[in-house]
Amino acid sequence: MGFFLMVLCQLIVIKVNMASASENVSSNRCKILIIGAGMAGLSAASHLVKNGVTDFKILEAKNRIGGRIVSINTGNHKVELGANWIHGVLGNPMYEIAMANGLIDIVHVPKPHKVVAATEDGKQIPFQVLQEIYEAYVCFLRRCEEYFLCHYQPPTGINSVGEHISLETALYLEGSSNDEERNLRQLIFDCLLKRETCITGCHSMNEIDLLELGSYTELQGGNIVLPSGYSSILEPVSRQIPQGNICKRRVVTTIQWHYAGEYRSADITSPGGDSGIDILANGDPGNDSDDSDRTVTGEQPRRPSEASSRGGSSEKEFQSAVSEDEKNSCLNLNQCEESCGEMLNVNSENKGINTSEGCEGSSASFCQRHQNGSSGSSKSKSVELVPNVEVICEDGSRYYADYVICTFPLGVLKEKASSLFSPSLPQYKLDSINRLLFGTVDKILLEYDRPFLNPDISEVMLLWEADVEAATGDLSETWYRKIYSFSKVSETLLLGWISGQEAEYMETLSHDQVADTCTTILRKFLSDPFVPKPKLCICTSWHTQPYTRGSYTAMAVGASQLDIENLAQPLYSSPQQKKPVLLFAGEHTHSSFYSTVHGAYLTGRSAAQLLLGSDSPQERVLECEGTSDLSSWIQGISLD
């Protein structure tokens, strides 16, 4: 009797589970899934909403939106841990959004930025020397950019920006009258190169491809700081996105983007059946389209030399890819992020941003294929009913959609691309992911009780003696020599930048250790033993962050704009589809605005636009609300 009751209870539980699973699959089913709620994901979502499409969900690993746009409140300051400046005015959609939403203070005239440069023994360099070297340096950099813009050939054996600048520096310094003068000037060049690694996003400028430096397009108008911080742009960008569409703490571990294809080949039970699940046709009739300019798995890799021979994919290629996929289709679901810790060890979660869990009721762990057969629902070949994509999260939840827009940062792709996608991404994409650089750039913020730097000074450049780093090779002894300056955010808040391996080493230290080291540095360079200890030290850890794994994209030696285009290329899971199933957005997919927020914004919008078609109401123009869109015009100019 007891046994009979137990079996009965289990049956009831199974039935209840199946019923709730049915409900969950319909709540976890949408037209479009967007992975990541950084600027690219938010921009894609907001573009869909503006065009009348709300049948989408954003799956975001963290408990906040914004990605690499994030701020924290320290009590006295709102501190931006990621993006800081709107780079350029003309044609920059972020500037346009900020203007349209009153985030830019056009009346406020910023204080002049006064820089001093000091050596390790506390001597200040005459400003004229600093200016002279700075002007020479800017010329060297512009010449590097010309290789891309004018298609010049570089000197034999010189492949990187660092090597080219070293060559020019050596020639320039030949004109110095004595060793002391030469050494001093060399220290300034070294400092400017360290600064350049933070701007570019690399360890050393020797890593950056000389021929591609000019591929980054600088928009005119300088760097704009929003008085309320860059993160205040998140509100207008996300305002129209229904909160329920944003699912936080959803760490995506697998994207099965041949999901419908697997149903087709297995001729298995449709999950629709009599379960009451409303799985709509995906809008792709699947029989009448031309695939001549599309990428399906199996397309030939696009190497730079083959750029012009980029062809379509044949049915044969598609089929061969499917059989390859079948071999690789068994994924290790345990291969996911171990933790979802925030960027900072302390105090780090963004206090100003809504942290409520979205996507109620979406934590189901429901697999349609498990239901097949056991539910007894009808057998069908009606493939239109089957979603193209199944997305599996770390917590076991599953989501189904017709299209998925992936905005994983390049660092995440570098680490996990081979396990994130089933079938695996085509080899040409994996090669491009490897070729591009995703360097580390971190911030060190020091907050003080009282001001101690001369109010006229806004930045102190640190002219470290050369070659100490090379001599020891021990990062624990030398990491801090990569900090090239401390600048004032306010009279009581200083900001230092650090890049590359030294930044990654710093991420392993406690904030107290960093604070002590910075105090020693400031006392030395300012020749002032009374420089106080900061009351608070905040260091970012972009490399350690599991959902970023670095700071931003750069063109490594051997990489090119084509690699970015390869990353941006959307994929079709079948040659018959009208629209791609797997789309990519994010700063790393913009061929001239990579590494920036506006690059991320534009790629998100383009991906969404690709999915807006005849099956969605009233396609509207690409524009920010209340603003004109000059970005494509600007791009046109710069690329011609």
Ligand X SMILES: Cc1cc2nc3c(=O)[nH]c(=O)nc-3n(C[C@H](O)[C@H](O)[C@H](O)COP(=O)(O)OP(=O)(O)OC[C@H]3O[C@@H](n4cnc5c(N)ncnc54)[C@H](O)[C@@H]3O)c2cc1C
Q: Which residues bind ligand X (CB under 6 A)?
A: 35-41, 59-62, 67-69, 82-85, 87, 250-252, 407-409, 412, 441, 443, 542, 547-548, 551-552, 586-587, 595-598, 600
Q: What's the distance, CA 539 to chain centroid?
A: 19
Cα 425 from Cα 298, distance rounded (Å): 9
Cα 452 from Cα 519, distance rounded (Å): 12
How many of the other CB atoms lie within 10 Å of CB of 166? Answer: 17
Q: How far is the CB of 451 from ligand X (least distance, A)?
A: 25
Cα 36 from Cα 67, distance rounded (Å): 8
Q: State residue 16 phi and psi, 5-degree precision.
A: -60, -45
Q: How far is the CB of 503 from ligand X (least distance, A)?
A: 10
- Nearer CB in complex with ligand X: 272/496: 496
How many of the other CB atoms lie within 10 Å of CB of 17? Answer: 14
Cα 213 from Cα 219, distance rounded (Å): 15
Q: Measure the N-to-C terminal CA separation of the chain; round to a whole number of Å.
A: 83
Contacts of 122 (CB under 8 A, 6+ apart): 524, 525, 526, 527, 528
Cα 125 from Cα 508, distance rounded (Å): 34
From the list 208, 198, 204, the residue with the least C-alpha distance to 498 is 198
Cα–Cα distances (Å) from 588 to 234, 552, 567, in that order, read 20, 8, 8
Tell me 273's DSSP state: T
Cα 104 from Cα 90, distance rounded (Å): 14
Q: Which residue has the tokens 């950019």?
A: 145
* Residue 135 one-letter amino acid: E
Whats the size of the chain, residue-wise? 640
Per-position b or e across 509-541, b if 16+ CB within 10 A of its CB = bebeebbebbbebbebbbeeeebeebebbbbbb
